[in-house]
């Protein structure tokens, strides 16, 4: 198997799906001539031309709407947001149009569209550029939300997202683009709505997704040195969420920690804890704990940013707490 970056894995998925279906096009800021702000769309303009690889003005609400309109009448747009921070400007089209068109029209108009781009913090980008929007998006009926954390998952899930007939929010990560991993040469897809057990264990379940799955794995490595066997579940899709995999694991380990990048209040983790308390109440040996960003706008200063972000150390501490080790 080839070892490639997360960025290249996404690039392969885009290329293969554009080759496979000529209704698929990509649109966004700097996707064409500049080859992508983060080079995810590198080479696509040269291969597919400017009708299918379209640079836009800085007009997120506008081009998100253009995507919805094109999807309404039969195209399959991929709309790139330079980052999800800027997608805030487009949320009206995402939430009020893409998410509910099928329902409002009594099933007549589905919107096969992918909105994608990096989500969450990178390094020292400060408050307006360091935000995780998954819980906002996952709140909305009609949207699917996907957040891969490895190159393999990124490619397989993006291909499925593009083939899906619904609006799919695809959350990448600036800090993920350079991560390397094995990706098979041949065609494969990964189904939306299915979680994966990334690592088996029987002492505690760590549930995470996206960039944080790498934090969860690091924490599991550290815990393993102390003989603690953590099971790591990667949700991959946040809506629809695969509660079965979560529940089966917690029933086995009796303890759980959720790791997410965003803020605590109304975060993804709160929803996961709700599923766990409903279905595993009698199985739990400790309250379920959450690891997340400190409840503040992200500060610029290096030391404060580090203190604000969830990390492996904080995850280890939470796991030790649910195991009553400290």
Partner 1 sequence: MARANKSAPAPSESPNATETKSMAKKKPESSDDSALRLSLLREMLLMRRFEERTAEAYALGKIGGFCHLYIGQEAVGAGAISVLRPDDYVITSYRDHGQALARGITPRSVMAELFGRIDGCSKGKGGSMHLFDRNTNFLGGHGIVAGHIPIATGVGFAIKYRGGDQVCLCFFGEAAVNNGAFHEALNMAALWQLPVVYLVENNRYGMGTALERASSVNDIAERACSYDMPNEVVDGQDVIAVREAVTRAVARARGENTPTLIEVRTYRFMGHSMSDAVSGTYRSKEELDEYMKRDPIAVLRAQMEQRGEWSDDKMAAIDDEVRAIVEDAWNFADESPEPPLEALTEDVYVDTTSDTDTGVAAAGER
Ligand X SMILES: Cc1ncc(C[n+]2csc(CCOP(=O)(O)OP(=O)(O)O)c2C)c(N)n1
> So which residues are the catalytic ones?
60, 129
Give the nearer residue to partner 1 in terms of CB position, either 89 or 91: 89
Q: Does 188 bind partner 1 (CB under 8 A)?
A: no
Q: Does 86 bind ligand X (CB under 6 A)?
A: yes
How far is 152 from 155, CA to CA, in rounded Å? 6
Q: Does 257 bind ligand X (CB under 6 A)?
A: no
Q: Which of 66, 75, 89, 175 binds ligand X (CB under 6 A)?
A: 89
Q: Does 33 bind partner 1 (CB under 8 A)?
A: yes
Overall residue count recorded for the chain in this entry? 326
SS3 content of the chain, % helix, strand, coil (to 5): 40, 20, 40
Q: Which residue is nearest to ligand X (CB)?
A: 86
Handedness of CA 96, 99, 100, 106 (dihedral sign): positive
Q: Which of 3, 104, 296, 325 binds partner 1 (CB under 8 A)?
A: 296
260: cis peptide before it, omega within 30°?
Answer: no
Q: Does 58 bind ligand X (CB under 6 A)?
A: yes
Residues 151-170, one symbol each (x = binds ligand X by CB under 6 A, - = not), give: --------------------
Count of residues of this chain found to bind ligand X when the rule CB under 6 A is applied: 6
Q: Does 105 bind partner 1 (CB under 8 A)?
A: no
Tell which residue, 214, 284, 203, 271, has the closest CA to residue 243. Answer: 271
Q: Does 61 bind ligand X (CB under 6 A)?
A: no
Stretch binding ligand X (CB under 6 A), from 66-74, 82-90, 211-219, 308-316: 82-90
- Per the CB < 8 A criterion, the answer to whether 226 and 278 are in contact is no
Degrees, nearest 5: CA angle 157-160-161 = 85
Q: Does 60 bind ligand X (CB under 6 A)?
A: yes
DSSP class of 131: B
Q: Smallest gap, in angstroms, from Cβ of residue 125 to partner 1?
A: 5
Give the nearer residue to partner 1 in terms of CB position, either 19 or 128: 128
The set of long-range contacts for 216-221, using a CB threshold of 8 Å and a minimum separation of 24, is 216/259, 216/315, 218/312, 218/315, 219/259, 219/312, 219/315, 219/316, 219/319
Give the nearer residue to partner 1 in terms of CB position, either 1 or 307: 307
Give the nearer residue to partner 1 in terms of CB position, either 57 or 141: 57
| From the list ligand X, partner 1, none, partner contacted by residue 124 (C-beta under 5 to 8 A by kind) | partner 1
Which residues, in sequence order, are CB contacts of 221 under 8 Å at separation 6+?
none
Count of residues of this chain found to bind partner 1 when the rule CB under 8 A is applied: 38
- Per the CB < 8 A criterion, the answer to whether 44 and 14 are in contact is yes
Q: Does 55 bind partner 1 (CB under 8 A)?
A: yes
Q: Does 129 bind partner 1 (CB under 8 A)?
A: yes
Q: Which of 62, 100, 229, 247 binds partner 1 (CB under 8 A)?
A: 62
Q: Does 126 bind partner 1 (CB under 8 A)?
A: yes
Tell which residue, 151, 252, 155, 234, has the closest CA to residue 194. Answer: 234
Which residues, in sequence order, are CB contacts of 323 under 8 Å at separation 6+?
203, 204, 228, 255, 286
| From the list ligand X, partner 1, none, partner contacted by residue 296 (C-beta under 5 to 8 A by kind) | partner 1
- Beta strand 204-208 with 230-234 is parallel
Q: How many CB atoms lie within 10 A of CB 9?
A: 29
Residue indicated by tokens 């999807």 = 71
How far is 155 from 51, CA to CA, in rounded Å? 24
Residues binding partner 1 (CB under 8 A): 29-30, 33-35, 37, 55-62, 85-86, 88-89, 122-129, 294-297, 299-304, 307-308
Residues binding ligand X (CB under 6 A): 29, 58, 60, 82, 86, 89
């Amino acid at each position: 198997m080839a070892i490639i970056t997360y960025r290249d894995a996404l690039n392969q998925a885009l290329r293969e799906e554009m080759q496979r279906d000529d209704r698929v096009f990509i649109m966004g800021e700097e996707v064409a001539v500049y080859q992508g702000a983060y080079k995810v769309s590198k080479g696509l303009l040269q291969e597919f031309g400017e009708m299918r690889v379209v640079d836009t003005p800085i007009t997120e609400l506008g081009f998100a709407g253009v995507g919805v309109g094109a999807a309404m009448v039969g195209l399959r747009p991929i709309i790139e947001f330079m980052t999800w921070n800027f997608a805030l400007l487009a949320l009206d089209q995402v939430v009020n149009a893409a998410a509910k068109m099928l329902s409002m029209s009594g099933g007549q108009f589905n919107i096969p569209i992918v909105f994608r781009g990096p989500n969450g913090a990178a390094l020292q980008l400060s408050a307006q550029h360091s935000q995780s929007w998954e819980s906002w998006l996952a709140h909305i009926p009609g949207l699917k939300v996907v957040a891969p954390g490895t190159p393999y998952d990124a490619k397989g899930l993006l291909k499925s997202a593009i083939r899906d007939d619904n609006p799919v929010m695809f959350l990448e990560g600036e800090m993920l683009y350079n991560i390397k991993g094995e990706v098979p040469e041949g065609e494969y897809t990964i189904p939306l709505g299915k979680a994966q057990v990334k690592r088996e264990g029987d002492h505690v379940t760590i549930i995470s997704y996206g960039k944080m799955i790498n934090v969860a794995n690091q924490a599991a490595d550290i815990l393993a040195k102390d003989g603690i066997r953590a099971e790591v579940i990667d949700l991959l899709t946040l809506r629809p969420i695969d509660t079965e995999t979560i529940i089966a694991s917690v029933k086995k380990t009796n303890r759980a920690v959720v790791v997410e990048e965003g803020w605590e209040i109304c975060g993804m983790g709160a929803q996961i804890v709700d599923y766990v308390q409903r279905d595993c109440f009698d199985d739990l040996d400790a309250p379920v704990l959450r690891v997340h960003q400190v409840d503040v706008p992200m500060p610029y200063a290096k030391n404060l940013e580090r203190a604000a972000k969830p990390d492996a150390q904080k995850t280890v501490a939470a796991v030790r707490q649910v195991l009553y080790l400290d």
